[in-house]
Chain A
Amino acid sequence: MTESDEPRIVIPPRVTIPIGPQHPALKEPGMFKLTVEGERIIDAEVNIGYNHRSIEKIAEGRTFLQVLYLAERICGICSATHNGTLAQAVEAAAEVEIPERAKFIRTLTWELERIHSHILWLGVAFHEVGFDTAFMYSWRDREVVMDLLETLSGNRVNYAMNTIGGVRRDVTDSLKETLLKGLDKLEERMKYYRDVAIYEKTFWNRVDGVGVLPNKIAKSHGAVGPTGRGSNVPTDVRFNDPTQAYVHLRDSGEFEMVLSDREDVAGRAIVRVVETIEAVRMCRWLLHNLPDGPIRERVRPRIQPNEVLARYEAPRGEVIHYLVTNGSDKPERWKVRAPTHANWVSMAYTLRGGYLADAPIILAAIDPCFSCTDRVVLVDAEDETIQLKPLDVLRAESNKWYESRT
């Protein structure tokens, strides 16, 4: 080997690493093409659309009440979100005012869902930075709010609380006591996790200054929810465009939009943690001010022709349901824009310039929900001849296959 006096500067080659759509580290199908130079990510591309379910198309052939339960299945974590937002859209299209008590209970379910979703995210974030102790602690305490949701609605995941014209279950006095007791415990635990997230170096050093999304880019690329608010973008439908009981919550003056000007993953984490504590306080306020009265208004199944833009702040950001009705009992057009879909656009920017090892936490920081993203057309295609197999056919074939084995 020849020796040279001058030290050689080695420029690492550019390598493009595809992560996904199927990858052990990803829980859901998305594809991220990261071009790296050594450890630095210099370019990123986000590809989605690997899990279409054609919900918008299917909805055009179903009645509003059926679509309500279909909407709930868009996402397991935001089930009350889509369910409630669609109910709200249909009520607006029918020009029906629902009882006050129903509005409060609907909002209560939404806020409890926000608590469970944010604690879930916190656990995932702890896990992604390798702080598994806190991950297990936070998910243990998430069970508290899951139990509350179960006592409230009867279900752990798909709550099915809303119906067109109100809610399906009432809050009794004894249930109120249970909920308040659970909320006290949650608030205490959340304050502890807030301190863990801010003062614990294991977590903080991994998120401080990572995944920077400047305010200007967040605005122009349409970042929503905690991703936007972590970059000081004041988008919160609960305060900007309130519906249901959020009008009363805003007017009470006790609650404020949580914003952070840190613009990095730490900012997004702080927004979520503080927002969880705010959500606990909101739930308590709603329970203390719960009005009496009926919980449901009857709505005719046929809805007059109308077009409605319903908005709601889901745990991940702004949800939009654009509903066009045509006088029948089925929607003419129903468009759902779930928050993760809006956050993908700024994702590529956030990844650029970071270290490859930080990619998991940057990806997790928007709290991606793939069921939010892929929901338009269901196709199971193979090469040129497209063979589409619905679930029942698939099930029958798999049964046959197992039978032939024995």
Chain B
Amino acid sequence: MTETESVTEHHMAPEEEHEEEYALFRQVMADLEGDVLIEGSYVHKQPRRLFFQVLPDKLRDVVQYFMTTHDMWQASTLSGRDLGDDLQANYHFFLNDQKIAITLRVNVPRNKPEYSSITDLMPAFEFVENELRELFGVIPVGHPKPRRCELPENWPKNEYPMRKDWADPRGLMQRSKTTGPKKPEEY
């Protein structure tokens, strides 16, 4: 994905009616200067949604900061994304005191997709971090229980089906797209 496209994806909220979100956003950006990138962090137009772009090696510090300073305990989920050159891990949390959902995301390069796991800080991520490793090949280093989670036990190595360039060696996606009844000779 090119830079111009990724910018248009972010819909910044206007200041009015988002005062609480902006107050939290400014506080976080001031407290975490250097750990959180300005580019990619913003307040979304949808009410109560913040997004932060975090440096991969600073993720643990940022999560600890939120846990101590903002009493963050509700871990929602983790979604992976394939951005082309980079792979992305989006950690979704919900701050129950401020009632704001925040997303911390890290970009890792495709040729070395590694960052340090936060499952030991928040055990709720045990399953989803395994899921991310299986489906996107992004490795949360230091995961306490790396094991099979979603894919079959005999799934071949180095195949990550949710990546955009997954070759689909067995032609499943092609065949699942059939729209009408097949002709008999196609069977």
- Return the contact of A324 from the options B9, B46, B122, B135 (Cβ within 8 A): B9
Bound together, the chains give a CA A57 to CA B136 distance in angstroms of 12
CB-based contact B187/A241 at 8 Å: no
Partner-binding segment picked from B22-30, B31-39, B91-99: B91-99
CB-based contact B172/A390 at 8 Å: yes
CB-based contact B77/A342 at 8 Å: yes
Across the interface, name the chain B residue whose C-beta is closest to A217: B123
CB-based contact B152/A381 at 8 Å: yes
Across the interface, name the chain A residue whose C-beta is closest to B148: A49
Indicate whether B62 reaches chain A with its CB closer than 8 angstroms. no
- Return the contact of A374 from the options B92, B123, B125, B150 (Cβ within 8 A): B150
CB-based contact B96/A345 at 8 Å: no
CB-based contact A320/B11 at 8 Å: no
- Return the contact of A377 from the options B51, B92, B135, B182 (Cβ within 8 A): B135
CB-based contact A381/B154 at 8 Å: yes
Bound together, the chains give a CA A245 to CA B174 distance in angstroms of 41
Across the interface, name the chain B residue whose C-beta is closest to A239: B99
CB-based contact A309/B103 at 8 Å: yes
Known: A386-B170, A393-B187. A345 touches B127 (CB 8 A): yes
CB-based contact B123/A220 at 8 Å: yes
Bound together, the chains give a CA A324 to CA B92 distance in angstroms of 14
- Return the contact of B74 from the options A48, A58, A235, A335 (Cβ within 8 A): A235
Across the interface, name the chain A residue whose C-beta is closest to B103: A309
**Residues of the A chain whose Cβ atoms lie less than 8 Å from the Cβ of B90:** 322
CB-based contact A345/B94 at 8 Å: no
CB-based contact B173/A345 at 8 Å: no
**Residues of the B chain whose Cβ atoms lie less than 8 Å from the Cβ of A396:** 187
- Return the contact of B96 from the options A92, A222, A234, A383 (Cβ within 8 A): A234
Indicate whether A168 reaches chain B with its CB closer than 8 angstroms. no
CB-based contact A320/B76 at 8 Å: yes
CB-based contact B135/A240 at 8 Å: no
**Residues of the B chain whose Cβ atoms lie less than 8 Å from the Cβ of A305:** 5, 8-9
Q: Mark A332-347, 1 if CB is under 8 A from B, else 0.
A: 0101010001101100
Bound together, the chains give a CA A220 to CA B151 distance in angstroms of 26
CB-based contact A322/B79 at 8 Å: yes
Across the interface, name the chain B residue whose C-beta is closest to A60: B164
**Residues of the A chain whose Cβ atoms lie less than 8 Å from the Cβ of B77:** 320, 322, 335, 337, 341-342
Known: A56-B162, A320-B76, A377-B161. A61 touches B149 (CB 8 A): no
In the complex, chain B residues 122-165 whose Cβ is within 8 Å of any chain A Cβ: 122-128, 131, 135, 148-152, 154-156, 161-162
- Return the contact of A345 from the options B80, B99, B124, B176 (Cβ within 8 A): B124
Bound together, the chains give a CA A294 to CA B80 distance in angstroms of 38
Known: A307-B9, A381-B152. A392 touches B96 (CB 8 A): no
CB-based contact A392/B178 at 8 Å: yes
CB-based contact B5/A376 at 8 Å: no
Indicate whether A202 reaches chain B with its CB closer than 8 angstroms. no
A341 to chain B, nearest CB (A): 6
Interface size on A, residues (CB 8 A): 53
Known: A240-B96, A390-B176. A335 touches B8 (CB 8 A): no
In the complex, chain B residues 48-75 whose Cβ is within 8 Å of any chain A Cβ: 48-49, 51, 73-75
**Residues of the B chain whose Cβ atoms lie less than 8 Å from the Cβ of A318:** 76
Indicate whether A364 reaches chain B with its CB closer than 8 angstroms. no
**Residues of the A chain whose Cβ atoms lie less than 8 Å from the Cβ of B11:** 95, 306
Q: Mark A368-404, 1 if CB is under 8 A from B, else 0.
A: 0000001011110101101110101100100000000
A184 to chain B, nearest CB (A): 34
Q: Mark A41-67, 1 if CB is under 8 A from B, else 0.
A: 000000111001010111001000000
Indicate whether A219 reaches chain B with its CB closer than 8 angstroms. yes
Across the interface, name the chain A residue whose C-beta is closest to B46: A92
Across the interface, name the chain B residue whose C-beta is closest to A393: B187
- Return the contact of A222 from the options B74, B82, B135 (Cβ within 8 A): B74
Indicate whether A311 reaches chain B with its CB closer than 8 angstroms. yes
Q: Mark B105-120, 1 if CB is under 8 A from A, else 0.
A: 0000000000000000
Most buried by A among B5, B46, B90, B175: B46
B-contacting residues of A (Cβ < 8 Å)?
A: 47-49, 52, 54, 56-58, 61, 92, 95, 219-222, 234-235, 240-241, 304-309, 311, 318, 320, 322, 324, 326, 333, 335, 337, 341-342, 344-345, 374, 376-379, 381, 383-384, 386-388, 390, 392-393, 396
Additional 5 contacts, C-beta under 8 A, given A95-B45, A392-B178, A393-B175: A54-B161, A222-B74, A326-B5, A376-B135, A383-B154
In order of increasing CB-CB distance, the 10 nearest A-B pairs are A222-B124, A335-B79, A337-B77, A388-B170, A49-B150, A305-B9, A396-B187, A219-B73, A322-B79, A377-B161
CB<8 Å pairs between A and B, sample of 24? A47-B148, A57-B161, A58-B173, A58-B176, A61-B177, A220-B122, A222-B76, A222-B124, A240-B96, A305-B9, A311-B76, A322-B90, A326-B9, A337-B128, A341-B128, A342-B124, A344-B127, A345-B126, A345-B127, A377-B150, A377-B162, A378-B172, A379-B151, A388-B170
